[in-house]
Chains A and B, each alone.
Chain A
């Protein structure tokens, strides 16, 4: 097994190098046979990465502790699902997962029916293969997943209990699919620049792949937040940790690209900017990996310190400098086809402002993340840049972003006149102001909350009007029933209405964030058995403290009965779990959810006499955060889905060159 599993890595490296060389040679010599050989290599590479994954899954599942990775991240009593998911618990395994996804994407593009006959394929392949060579090199010589120990331990060190949660099964997978996914638009962009061809097909394919990567990045962040909320016991979902920031930055720049590429599609403008956004997004994924693997910044998510970060830094520098060189060498060519705007006030202008704010938000996060290093270099003092900084700096930027998102749908392409603006915005603006006044009357008096909810109200009204107008126009022409008209309206323009669903999802998430950040209540109390804690309308009766054994883990739990306005909501069991193979215990919180708020109960500590300390929180509007997340996923899927009559990206029918 040792030989086989290691062979998959080293043969994979050899095949990656061979495929890259043969593909490049095929491009230079315009030889289809060489290209085809390279394509065969891509399949072989995927098989190697797949075999390596299966090998590691097998070793983890069968607890073969002579392998260092298996010893470091599992123990024999670990449930099988967590033995398997330990594959992405450590440095080497997670990089193997990354490599597998990379080869998977490469195969998907190489043999995509839509890309058949497209001369870009060899170029895209070559760029992705450069990535594959790098990752196989790392797996072969730096972070080896199949390294063996000199002496075989009888038991493994176990998996961090924090990672033993359903959220951790899917969060890293989706995040990596997003990270790796961004290398595909990057490869498309580089191929287009090299071939001096950015046609309509290129735009459609690049956007499609960016939406896929964006969707997975969104899912990764959402699952991460959900995991933090239920597993870490602090009642939060986002801590502005450097590693969280690293996954949020490419999300922001990819979002900017998805909007600005529409201007390129309609007006053949902003080509340089769009390519730059793709390069930045890709570079930020590498930067994120550098942060996680280098230990250069303090992060709760970071893997053990290693010199891996240095390799990623070098690779990132190589990729960025190479990309910028290609971009600069084609600059005049791209610039030449620049168009013009018809008016200052138009949808195009709002997209530019949207880009400004999204990239500005990404820059602010980048600056805050690296500021400890800057400060240390300049003054010798490594300051902490934490939640208060990011909340204060990001809130106005992202709120402005929400405002642009609210008004954008009602702005016309090309030109909006004052008459148009008045007619379109009078009703939404009046309704938003009325909503804000109502909020103040009802007791919401924090300025940020009132402004934030006002902007959200504006967004809901403008989006409602957009749907209403579309349905009305469709009914006028076809006489369809309203629901049929809505269905057909949406399915005939999946991109637009999928985008609107995403907007609504973002609005729901913002509702949840504003509510939970501004109106949360907390208390920490130590009470004897039989007594209760009161918070807001809730009464939590402390009924029982007991313990039980589950496998090698000891669980201390409290039984509490929760009442709201005197009415029982049931009995719940906040727990503290002590693991046989881990020093620190973890909290299993009790969460009672409703659309209005979550009641979050943590068993914090206890005494011999039965007294127990509870942390109890009321987090308003948390469910809206998850509903919004679901809508984002739904909207993105709706946008990329190929409908019955819809071919979002038809097959390539452009010029066929010598090789493809």
Chain B
């Protein structure tokens, strides 16, 4: 019994140790999706105008070391939000490729939709206002009117063509 227990414990330790070694040795492809999620959050400051996912580590030493640090953190088990918080604490919001969704920076995200919503309400109000006056006294047109419109256009173009031929 003791021997069985010992063997089980030994096997478990071996498995755990193996997975530990595996984590340490994990290679992360700089162009993988998991790396993109983390690295594309940060703007490269070398002047390339790209983020740390896009910037080429073979021509930019800045992104080379930054990428290494990111891989190190990912291997330590930090997720993208933790890594983001870590860098924002050190460098501030300026290091991010897009503004934070809090504080004053929230206005960057919200304002376009607020303006669009307000303008949309205005447009709907105007359409209703303009349409209201005619709503009661105009007869209802149906699909036929649309068909007539196309046919009318074609007819007038044929007449125009004939007119130009003979005049």
Residues of A within 8 A of B93 (CB): 381, 383
Contact A604 B116 (CB under 8 A): no
Interface members, chain B 138-154 (any A CB < 8 Å): 138, 140-143, 145-147, 149-151, 153-154
CA distance A364 to B48 in the complex (A): 24
Contact B142 A420 (CB under 8 A): yes
User: What is the CB-to-nearest-CB distance from A344 to chain B, in angstroms, rounded to a whole number?
Assistant: 5
B96 contacts chain A at the CB level, 8 A cutoff:
yes
Residues of B within 8 A of A417 (CB): 140-143
User: What is the CB-to-nearest-CB distance from A374 to chain B, in angstroms, rounded to a whole number?
Assistant: 8
| Chain A residue with the shortest CB-CB distance to B36 | A522
Contact A469 B147 (CB under 8 A): yes
Of A236, A359, A371, A613, the contact of B108 (CB 8 Å cutoff): A371
Interface of B toward A, CB cutoff 8 Å: 29-32, 36, 40-41, 43, 47-51, 54, 56, 58-59, 92-99, 104-105, 108-109, 111-113, 115-116, 119-120, 123, 126-128, 130-131, 133-135, 138, 140-143, 145-147, 149-151, 153-155, 157-158, 160-161, 164
Residues of B within 8 A of A387 (CB): 40, 51, 97-98
CA distance A470 to B155 in the complex (A): 11
Contact B157 A384 (CB under 8 A): no
Residues of A within 8 A of B161 (CB): 492, 645
Contact A389 B98 (CB under 8 A): yes
CA distance A626 to B30 in the complex (A): 28
Residues of A within 8 A of B145 (CB): 412, 414-415
Residues of B within 8 A of A617 (CB): 31
Of B109, B119, B126, the contact of A393 (CB 8 Å cutoff): B109
Contact B50 A397 (CB under 8 A): no
Contact pattern, A 225-241, Cβ under 8 Å of B = 1, otherwise 0:
00000000110100101
28 A–B pairs (Cβ distance < 8 Å), ordered by A: A234-B50, A300-B47, A340-B130, A342-B134, A349-B127, A363-B116, A368-B108, A371-B108, A375-B108, A378-B104, A381-B93, A381-B94, A384-B96, A386-B43, A388-B40, A388-B97, A389-B98, A392-B98, A412-B149, A415-B138, A415-B141, A415-B145, A424-B143, A522-B31, A524-B29, A524-B30, A615-B56, A617-B31
Interface contacts beyond A299-B49, A363-B116: sample of 20 additional A-B pairs, CB < 8 Å, sorted by A: A234-B54, A236-B54, A298-B49, A341-B130, A341-B134, A356-B123, A371-B99, A381-B92, A381-B93, A381-B94, A386-B51, A388-B98, A393-B109, A413-B149, A415-B138, A416-B146, A417-B142, A473-B150, A522-B31, A615-B56
Contact B131 A239 (CB under 8 A): no
A151 contacts chain B at the CB level, 8 A cutoff:
no
User: What is the CB-to-nearest-CB distance from A578 to chain B, in angstroms, rounded to a whole number?
Assistant: 12
Given contacts A387-B97, A477-B158, contact A523 B141 (CB under 8 A): no
Contact A241 B108 (CB under 8 A): no
CA distance A373 to B153 in the complex (A): 52
> Could you tell me the dominant secondary structure of chain B's interface residues?
helix
Residues of A within 8 A of B140 (CB): 415, 417
A353 contacts chain B at the CB level, 8 A cutoff:
yes
Of A341, A382, A473, the contact of B154 (CB 8 Å cutoff): A473
A336 contacts chain B at the CB level, 8 A cutoff:
no
Residues of B within 8 A of A382 (CB): 94
CA distance A375 to B104 in the complex (A): 8
Of A355, A357, A523, the contact of B32 (CB 8 Å cutoff): A523
Given contacts A234-B50, A360-B116, A420-B146, contact A341 B127 (CB under 8 A): yes
Q: With contacts defined as CB atoms under 8 Å apart, how many contacts are there between chain A and chain B in the complex?
A: 183
Contact pattern, A 59-99, Cβ under 8 Å of B = 1, otherwise 0:
00000000000000000000000000000000000000000
| Chain A residue with the shortest CB-CB distance to B99 | A383
Of A299, A356, A388, the contact of B116 (CB 8 Å cutoff): A356
Residues of A within 8 A of B43 (CB): 384, 386
Contact B141 A414 (CB under 8 A): yes
Residues of B within 8 A of A342 (CB): 131, 134, 138
Contact A389 B99 (CB under 8 A): yes
User: What is the CB-to-nearest-CB distance from A296 to chain B, in angstroms, rounded to a whole number?
Assistant: 15
CA distance A470 to B56 in the complex (A): 53
A528 contacts chain B at the CB level, 8 A cutoff:
no
Residues of A within 8 A of B40 (CB): 387-388
User: What is the CB-to-nearest-CB distance from A244 to chain B, in angstroms, rounded to a whole number?
Assistant: 10
CA distance A300 to B43 in the complex (A): 14
Contact B98 A474 (CB under 8 A): no
Contact A239 B108 (CB under 8 A): no
| Chain B residue with the shortest CB-CB distance to A233 | B56
Interface members, chain A 557-615 (any B CB < 8 Å): 584-585, 604-605, 613, 615
Residues of B within 8 A of A420 (CB): 141-143, 146
Contact B154 A383 (CB under 8 A): no
Interface members, chain A 341-358 (any B CB < 8 Å): 341-344, 349, 352-353, 355-357
User: What is the CB-to-nearest-CB distance from B71 to chain A, in angstroms, rounded to a whole number?
Assistant: 12
Contact A384 B30 (CB under 8 A): no
CA distance A605 to B56 in the complex (A): 10
CA distance A494 to B98 in the complex (A): 43
CA distance A367 to B164 in the complex (A): 52
Residues of B within 8 A of A360 (CB): 112, 115-116, 119
Residues of A within 8 A of B47 (CB): 298, 300
A332 contacts chain B at the CB level, 8 A cutoff:
no
A548 contacts chain B at the CB level, 8 A cutoff:
no
CA distance A382 to B43 in the complex (A): 13
Residues of B within 8 A of A414 (CB): 141, 145
User: What is the CB-to-nearest-CB distance from B59 to chain A, in angstroms, rounded to a whole number?
Assistant: 7
A109 contacts chain B at the CB level, 8 A cutoff:
no
CA distance A386 to B135 in the complex (A): 47
| Chain A residue with the shortest CB-CB distance to B150 | A473
User: What is the CB-to-nearest-CB distance from A518 to chain B, in angstroms, rounded to a whole number?
Assistant: 11
Point out which of B32, B58, B59 has the most chain A C-beta atoms below 10 A from its C-beta.
B58
Given contacts A341-B130, A349-B127, contact A385 B98 (CB under 8 A): yes
| Chain A residue with the shortest CB-CB distance to B162 | A645
CA distance A359 to B49 in the complex (A): 27
Contact A300 B155 (CB under 8 A): no
Residues of B within 8 A of A488 (CB): 157
Residues of A within 8 A of B54 (CB): 234, 236
User: What is the CB-to-nearest-CB distance from B133 to chain A, in angstroms, rounded to a whole number?
Assistant: 5
Residues of A within 8 A of B104 (CB): 375, 378-379
Contact A352 B127 (CB under 8 A): yes
Point out which of A233, A413, A522 has the most chain B C-beta atoms below 10 A from its C-beta.
A522
Residues of B within 8 A of A329 (CB): none
Contact B49 A367 (CB under 8 A): no
A651 contacts chain B at the CB level, 8 A cutoff:
no
CA distance A397 to B96 in the complex (A): 24
Residues of B within 8 A of A604 (CB): 56, 58
User: What is the CB-to-nearest-CB distance from A78 to chain B, in angstroms, rounded to a whole number?
Assistant: 23
Residues of B within 8 A of A524 (CB): 29-31
Contact B99 A385 (CB under 8 A): yes
Interface members, chain A 371-419 (any B CB < 8 Å): 371, 375, 378-379, 381-389, 392-393, 397, 412-417, 419
CA distance A85 to B15 in the complex (A): 65
Contact B29 A523 (CB under 8 A): yes
Point out which of B146, B147, B153, B157 has the most chain A C-beta atoms below 10 A from its C-beta.
B146
A493 contacts chain B at the CB level, 8 A cutoff:
yes
Residues of B within 8 A of A113 (CB): none
Residues of B within 8 A of A344 (CB): 127-128, 131
User: What is the CB-to-nearest-CB distance from B113 to chain A, in angstroms, rounded to a whole number?
Assistant: 8
CA distance A363 to B108 in the complex (A): 12
Residues of A within 8 A of B31 (CB): 522-524, 615, 617
User: What is the CB-to-nearest-CB distance from B79 to chain A, in angstroms, rounded to a whole number?
Assistant: 17
